[in-house]
């Protein structure tokens, strides 16, 4: 039995993330999805709470062929301890999937196999761009699963991003990096 682990901030969970899940589901028997930066919300970079993201992700992958578990993972100050921190929270896993260089490095240094999933239409499916589309009123719903649209609407998420962007003085957006 092989259990895979895929972590992301999922701000929001988009169709590229969903494609990764489908790809990983062909290689593993079970999948753990880690909601990274679970302690962070209500900023332009991280607008949605861990609970909101748990609902988004759980509903967006409910038709995937393998059992899938969604686990919130808070950030910690020490990168060197982050993998141990994950292991203390998540079901045991055999292989981690990531294209984030720091994430891949930390898993490899902990002797955990890392696989790099393909990138899917990164021009369209990219968190920073989708949040910017929400902020300025551009079309974004075609870039995320329907379940994500439902959660964003339920929590008035577009208005939340606009409010926190104003609170940041309007210049935070330019400073954002992902």
Residues binding ligand NAD (CB under 6 A): 7-10, 16-17, 19-20, 36-37, 75-76, 79, 82, 98-100, 102-103, 106, 117, 119-122, 125-127, 178
Minimal distance in Å, beta carbon 141 to ligand NAD? 16
Beta bridge pairs of residue 46: none
Minimal distance in Å, beta carbon 85 to ligand NAD? 7
The candidate with the shortest Cα–Cα distance to 74, out of 16, 7, 18, 128, is: 7
All residues at 6 or more sequence positions from 73 whose CB lies less than 8 Å from its CB, including other chains = 7, 34, 35, 36, 38, 85, 86, 89, 90
Minimal distance in Å, beta carbon 120 to ligand NAD? 4
The candidate with the shortest Cα–Cα distance to 41, out of 31, 30, 56, is: 56
Using CA atoms, how far residue 2 sits from 29, 33, 88, 104, 145, in Å, is 5, 14, 19, 19, 26
Query: Which is closer to ligand NAD, CB of 4 or CB of 127?
Result: 127
- CA 106/CA 124 separation, integer angstroms: 28
Query: Which is closer to ligand NAD, CB of 106 or CB of 170?
Result: 106
Query: Which is closer to ligand NAD, CB of 75 or CB of 166?
Result: 75
How many CA atoms within 13 Å lie on the side-chain side of 161? 23
Minimal distance in Å, beta carbon 159 to ligand NAD? 22
Query: Which is closer to ligand NAD, CB of 47 or CB of 127?
Result: 127
Minimal distance in Å, beta carbon 19 to ligand NAD? 6
Query: Which is closer to ligand NAD, CB of 105 or CB of 166?
Result: 105
């Amino acid at each position: 039995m092989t259990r895979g682990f895929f972590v992301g901030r999922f701000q929001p969970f988009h169709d590229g993330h969903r494609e990764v899940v489908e790809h990983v589901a062909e290689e593993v028997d079970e999948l753990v999805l880690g909601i990274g930066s679970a302690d962070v919300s209500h900023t332009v970079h991280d607008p949605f709470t861990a609970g909101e993201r748990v609902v988004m992700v759980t509903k967006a992958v409910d038709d995937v062929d393998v059992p899938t578990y969604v686990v919130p993972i808070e950030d910690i100050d020490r990168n060197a301890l982050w993998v141990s921190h994950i292991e203390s929270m998540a079901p045991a896993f055999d292989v981690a999937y990531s294209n984030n260089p720091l994430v891949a490095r930390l898993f490899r240094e902990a002797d955990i196999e890392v696989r790099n999933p393909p990138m899917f239409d990164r021009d369209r499916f990219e968190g920073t761009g989708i949040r910017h589309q929400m902020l300025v009123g551009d079309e974004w719903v075609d870039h995320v699963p329907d379940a994500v649209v439902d959660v964003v609407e339920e929590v008035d998420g577009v208005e939340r991003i606009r409010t926190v962007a104003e609170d940041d003085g309007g210049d935070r957006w330019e400073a954002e990096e992902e």
